[in-house]
Amino acid sequence: AQSVTQLGSHVSVSEGALVLLRCNYSSSVPPYLFWYVQYPNQGLQLLLKYTSAATLVKGINGFEAEFKKSETSFHLTKPSAHMSDAAEYFCAVSGTTDSWGKLQFGAGTQVVVTP
């Protein structure tokens, strides 16, 4: 079965500081991994995804994530936080070919950016 663990339900960062959100996964097949962002009162928007090509994936708004198979991790980073990065972030892993369409989500990490 596929599963995702996000470490830290809340993260507070200063404007201009590094943003690091942690995601570890479990998958019985080569994983496809996603990061989504949810701004207040909005749906989820795709930030970036790993689909077995390059292990360092660049996304929108300056975010990137690195797939590390040995650590079963897919951590999300941004070098310099902006006030507009305040949102909730979800890591997700794609299902197997039997349940291929299903995304299994982590519990989410709320990011607060302080001036």
Partner 1 sequence: EAQVTQNPRYLITVTGKKLTVTCSQNMNHEYMSWYRQDPGLGLRQIYYSMNVEVTDKGDVPEGYKVSRKEKRNFPLILESPSPNQTSLYFCASSLFGDRGYGYTFGSGTRLTVV
Count how many Cα atoms sit within 13 Å of the Cα of residue 99 in the half-sphere of its side chain: 12
As measured in angstroms, the least distance from the Cβ of 80 to partner 1 is 26
Contacting partner 1 (CB under 8 A), which of 12, 18, 26, 46?
46
Q: Are 35 and 89 in contact (CB under 8 A)?
A: yes
40 contributes a contact to partner 1 by CB under 8 A? no
Q: Are 6 and 105 in contact (CB under 8 A)?
A: no
- Phi-psi domain of 71 (left: phi exceeds 0; alpha: psi -120 through 50; beta: other): alpha
By beta-carbon proximity to partner 1, the closer residue of 18 and 112 is: 112
37 contributes a contact to partner 1 by CB under 8 A? no
Q: Is the dihedral of CA 87, 96, 3, 64 positive or negative?
A: negative
78 contributes a contact to partner 1 by CB under 8 A? no
Q: Is the dihedral of CA 103, 89, 36, 91 positive or negative?
A: negative
**Binding track over 2-31 against partner 1, x by CB under 8 A:** -------x----------------------
115 contributes a contact to partner 1 by CB under 8 A? no
Residues that bind partner 1 (CB under 8 A): 9, 32, 34, 36, 41-46, 49, 51-52, 90, 94-95, 97, 100-103, 105-108
